[in-house]
Structure 1
């Protein structure tokens, strides 16, 4: 599933993800698509985080960059887990 498709499904069907228990997300095609979309979106986000952290720093003025900067291991401030970081980015897109 492409990033665009997974983001579209996740944005439109976030309520289903929130109210339906995980095991039940395999009952229908739509629910399976929601599960796959969220799983794929998490993989894309992990790749983006790793890419941004491993390459030379480029100044960007977006939420994602600011969260990564705030989560810099060299800053000494409180850190977000990767899951928390992904959750914050995704909550901004919904």
Structure 2
């Protein structure tokens, strides 16, 4: 079995800055769904981080849910801990 890797950078509006093999939808404030053009065999291992040139280190990005077809990523603000649109980068391996 070969290993599959999908990675990318997405801006706060859900636009792809770099990467391929996926689509992004903004599904709520600070909530993004990354769907794969070709599914993984199982849910992939996931890593994400905030990607902003004017953010604070306390701003966050987490994987909320994942399956072989999509990953839900949630981003938030250091102010009040609320979900808020933020750019993010990711790598999924499976």
- TM-score bucket (shorter structure): under 0.3
Higher helix residue share: 1
Greater Rg, structure 1 or structure 2?
1
Query: Which structure is richer in relative contact order (CA contacts within 8 A, separation 6 or more)?
Result: 2
State the TM-score, normalizing by the size of structure 1. Answer: 0.25
Q: TM-score, with normalisation over the residues of structure 2? A: 0.25
